Amino acid sequence: MVLPADPTVTWTVSHGLVPYEAASAAMPRRTAAIAGGEARELVWLLEHPPLYTAGTSARMEDLLAPARLPVHRTGRGGQFTYHGPGQRVIYVMLDVRRRFGDVRAFVAALEDWVIAAFAELGVEAEKRQGQVGVWVRQGSGHAKIAAIGVRLSRWVSSHGISLNVSPDLSHYDGIVPCGIRDAGVTSLAALGRTTDMNAVDHALRAAFERSIGPTVDGDPPLIERTEADIRAAFNSASV
């Protein structure tokens, strides 16, 4: 058994494209184990096949091309977003109450973590008042480069961050990303920066260890795709 006060977080990377519904089903099993003191907290890095996800605040009018890609409803906060190859998805399963105290402090810590990782990659990123996520200045305005959408169950988080490394940005044309109509979406590739996913992962891990806590290598969650697991991904109780 892992003691609840253990500060070490398991860090793991899945290679290849992980089906969204399978990852969504795996997260509640791990968060339940974390809440019960049976497993370490986890940061899980992966990529998904091309798809749209609809968070709990998603508005159907923001799905501009419903036939373009598969659409998955999810229990995370937020609105519509895109996932696909070339995007680093970071599922963050942490004890929010113990580490951060409340949800707002947790989301702010995620933003600060990603901004610090971008700084290591030579990219100046920032927060934007009143809007969750991480942004870069582009022309006379801003463009979003990392989206954040989380869910809490028994004060343990799931879902997390999608960071654009080199995805096909044209897929964002099928939605209004995060419901925001006055700003664009960009990526490290579009900014002329590194598209080496290993370099991105290294920067993320170094920044996480400085700002949140120590990590240890571990295995990805076991992927199972039973009907019960998929239901659990969407029906688990929230704080």
| AA letter at 41 | E
Query: Given 136, 178, 203, 207, which residue is catalytic?
Result: 178
d(CA 72, CA 186) in angstroms, rounded, equals: 22
Paired with 36 in beta bridges are none
Whether residue 152 lies in the annotated active site: no
The DSSP-derived string for 173-203 is GGB-GGG--SSEE--TTTTT----HHHHHHH
Q: Return contacts of 146-149, CB within 8 angstroms, 24+ apart.
A: 146/114, 147/78, 147/81, 147/177, 147/178, 148/78, 148/107, 148/110, 148/111, 149/53, 149/55, 149/74, 149/76, 149/77, 149/78, 149/81
Instruction: Show which residues are catalytic.
Output: 178
